[in-house]
Amino acid sequence: MAGNQPIYILPEGTDRFLGRDALRLNIMAGKALAETIRTTLGPKGMDKMLVDSFGDVVVTNDGATILKEMDIVHPTARMLVEIAKKQEDNVGDGTTTAIIIAGELLKKAEELIEMGIHPSTIVIGYQLALAKALDKLFDISISASDKETLMKVAMTAMTGKGSDKAKDYLAKLIVEAVTKVANNGEVDKKDINIQRITGGTVDDSFLVDGILIDKGKADDSMPKEIKNAKIALLKYPLEIKDLETDAKIDLTNPLQRQAFLDNEEEMIKDMVDKVIESGANVLFAQKGIDDLALHYLTRAGILAIKRTKKSDMQRLVKATGAQIVTNVEDLTADQLGEAGIVYEKKIFDQLMVFVEETPNAKAASIVLRGSTRHITGQIERALEDALGVVAATIEDDAVVIGGGAPEIAMSKALKEYAETIPGREQLAITAFAEAIEVVPRTLAENAGLDSIDSIVDLIAAHEDSEYMGLDVFSGKVVDMKAEGVVEPQRVKKQAIRYATEATEMVLRIDDLVAARGALESTGSEDDGMDHSGMPGTYNGMGQGGLPPMM
């Protein structure tokens, strides 16, 4: 009777869930994650206050930031966090949308499974639906990337993100910055640097036509300004290593010590001479510069900056045409870059070095001002979203209308399409159609409106025009194109794609093997509360010192 003997193939201390159980657990985790952030969707979305274990506070309604700050441990929830990250990297906006669509697709899948439909049938139906939904999305897209459209796109992304008072002004800065660095319709977002300086108000923010380094020159007596700059970028320390640790000589012997110091002095002088001989009058060093070297550099009239950030060095390469030199011995005139002017200036109480009029004009910096660090932090996140959407609009030359309009259009198209599909896949397509309505539904809920009424009104209004969306401020269904609520097509396209991908991944899992305890949270173990019926808090989230969220 060996058949009755259980065979252990897994180590002790492993939890295993099979088939339905595995699926149910995973779907629960995905839904819970979506529940957690759904209240932040749209201009009327609420903020979340996140406190980490060091007591640092972040107040935000930015989906990507929330997911980053929350220490999510459940593996399935983490898979969804991954799609949010992909959305953030690829588009720079629409993370909340991607997650709540995924949550809804999972919820609908669960209902279908309860009805006895196999997960792989659902996957096929969802794939058919995705293709059809994207067809419709492309259909209703508008080809536009003129400045006026870019402004609207930037403002839509910033609405409700704590920057509303200065939205027009900030949108203009973003559009100017992005159009400046755009190169044959491509935008490298790294060419734009946002520099936060606390102090002053948001209206004091401004655009720098070039590169901004957030530190002053290395020595006070160096020139404050250099015209026709010849710029050297050096990734080599202009200093001799620490005397005490490096030296093998007897430092207590005064003669030897003097000889050593003379030698060191000589080496430093040689290094600086290399810089001078190259013809450079501005030096950005990625490493340190010794006091003595500073003295020689100052005497030669060179403006030097030490410990320049790597990202700034890369921007300088691109904009000035300089090459980063790793050994000062190799520095020659060929490797120098150029700029019309390099100067130091104090903004509020922070010294900065500006590099302007560069030959390859592919650099822009935005100096963001605000009264507190929290305010500039919140606005910076809004600016980053705006940056992402403006870049995506320039690159794709395609926008859609916001406020739930495209979701309703896609949903309607899918419901019609479903009727043409025989078999059980039809049910999955209908489910997909209903799932993407979660976007307008949530916009309505977050605006304190009746979501059922809003959806009914939207569907009716779409008989006339596919640009009808929900204006969350008036609570009415209006032509959102006329309202100027415009988003890049890419935001919607990728959100739906990534959401479907993640759902499929979850639906294909029928065996969940986990180290014991891996699916449990550490934070909510003994708080004496029953979380079972509470959205957003299940055993696997709300960890890392964060209070349970609703």
Q: Residue 206 or residue 473: which is nearer to Mg ion going by CB?
A: 473
Q: Is 239 in the site for ligand ADP (CB under 6 A)?
A: no
Closest distance of CB 455 from ligand ADP, Å: 14
The token pair at 432 is 């997909």
Instruction: Tell me how far apart the alpha carbons of residues 40 and 96 are, in angstroms, rounded to a whole number.
Output: 8
Catalytic residues: 62, 95-96, 385
Which residues lie closer than 8 Å to 443 by C-beta, 6 or more apart? 41, 42, 44, 403, 404, 454, 470, 472
Count Cα neighbours of 10 within 13 Å in the Cβ-side half-sphere. 12
Q: Could you write out the three-class secondary structure of 112-155?
A: HHHCCCCHHHHHHHHHHHHHHHHHHHHHHCECCCCHHHHHHHHH
Q: Is 384 in the site for ligand ADP (CB under 6 A)?
A: no
Contacting residue, 22, 25, 42, 193, with ligand ADP by CB under 6 A: 42
Site track for ligand ADP across 46-85, x = CB under 6 A:
-----------------x----------------------
Q: Which does 403 bind (CB under 5 to 8 A by kind): Mg ion, ligand ADP, none?
A: ligand ADP
- The stretch near ligand ADP (CB under 6 A) out of 90-98, 277-285, 313-321, 325-333 is 90-98
- In the range 88-117, which residues lie near Mg ion by CB under 5 A? 93
- In the range 431-470, which residues lie near Mg ion by CB under 5 A? none
Q: Which does 97 bind (CB under 5 to 8 A by kind): ligand ADP, Mg ion, none?
A: ligand ADP
Site track for Mg ion across 54-93, x = CB under 5 A:
---------------------------------------x
Q: What's the Cα-to-Cα distance from 169 to each of 174, 203, 368, 369, rounded to whole Å? A: 9, 7, 12, 13
- In the range 420-479, which residues lie near ligand ADP by CB under 6 A? 439, 443, 470-472
- The stretch near ligand ADP (CB under 6 A) out of 87-95, 139-147, 192-200, 368-376 is 87-95
Q: Residue 156 or residue 365: which is nearer to ligand ADP going by CB?
A: 156
Q: Residue 402 or residue 523: which is nearer to ligand ADP going by CB?
A: 402
Closest distance of CB 228 from ligand ADP, Å: 45
- The stretch near ligand ADP (CB under 6 A) out of 42-50, 264-272, 335-343, 510-518 is 42-50
3-class SS at 429?
helix
DSSP 166: G
Q: Is 399 in the site for ligand ADP (CB under 6 A)?
A: no
Closest distance of CB 148 from ligand ADP, Å: 17
Q: Residue 338 or residue 437: which is nearer to ligand ADP going by CB?
A: 437
3-class SS at 499?
helix
Q: Is 103 in the site for ligand ADP (CB under 6 A)?
A: no
φ/ψ of residue 205, rounded to 5: -65, 150
Instruction: Tell me how far apart the alpha carbons of residues 287 and 307 are, in angstroms, rounded to a whole number.
Output: 5
Contacting residue, 30, 210, 403, 488, with ligand ADP by CB under 6 A: 403
Q: Is 384 in the site for Mg ion (CB under 5 A)?
A: no
DSSP 307-323: S--HHHHHHHHHHH---
Work out whether strand 282-285 and strand 303-305 pair parallel, antiparallel, or are unpaired.
parallel
- In the range 197-216, which residues lie near Mg ion by CB under 5 A? none
By Cβ distance, which residue is nearest to ligand ADP? 402
Contact 29, 3 (CB under 8 A): no
Q: Which does 487 bind (CB under 5 to 8 A by kind): ligand ADP, Mg ion, none?
A: ligand ADP
Instruction: Tell me how far apart the alpha carbons of residues 215 and 495 are, in angstroms, rounded to a whole number.
Output: 39
Contacting residue, 30, 43, 540, 542, with ligand ADP by CB under 6 A: 43
E strand map for 220-331: 225-234, 282-285, 303-305, 324-325
Closest distance of CB 388 from ligand ADP, Å: 10
Work out whether strand 210-213 and strand 350-356 pair parallel, antiparallel, or are unpaired.
antiparallel
Contact 97, 41 (CB under 8 A): yes
Q: Is 213 in the site for ligand ADP (CB under 6 A)?
A: no
Which residues lie closer than 8 Å to 418 by C-beta, 6 or more apart? 129, 426, 427, 429, 430, 433
Q: Tell me which residues touch Mg ion (CB under 5 A).
A: 93
